[in-house]
Amino acid sequence: MPQATTTTHPTMCLKHGDFHVMDSDCWDVTLDWYFSSQHLNDQASRDAYLAAVERQMLDNLIRNR
Ligand SMILES: [Zn+2]
């Protein structure tokens, strides 16, 4: 699971498909994602999360073209 919402370190953000210091909206999306992936083990959920963020990044690139 990610650290508490008080962190000031940049984190891979699923909501924005970006690497930044996340606000509470970002954490809502991320924690929802982890909640829905509880059937995965730690490593698998981390890998799947990064894959989901990468997909979001690609979506952003396509949309901003
Ligand atoms: Zn964000």
**What are the extents of the domains in the chain?**
11-63
Phi, psi of 16 (to 5 degrees): -105, -5
**In angstroms, what is the span from residue 48 Cα to ligand 1's centroid?**
18
- pLDDT per residue, tens digit, the chain (65 aa), is 555 555 689 999 999 999 999 999 999 999 999 999 999 999 999 999 999 999 999 999 999 87
* Amino acid at position 19, single letter: F
Q: What is the CA angle 22-64-54, rounded to 5? A: 50
**In angstroms, what is the span from residue 22 Cα to ligand 1's centroid?**
5
**In angstroms, what is the span from residue 11 Cα to ligand 1's centroid?**
9
**In angstroms, what is the span from residue 64 Cα to ligand 1's centroid?**
17
**In angstroms, what is the span from residue 21 Cα to ligand 1's centroid?**
7
pTM: 0.80
pLDDT (0 to 100) of residue 47: 96
pLDDT (0 to 100) of residue 6: 59
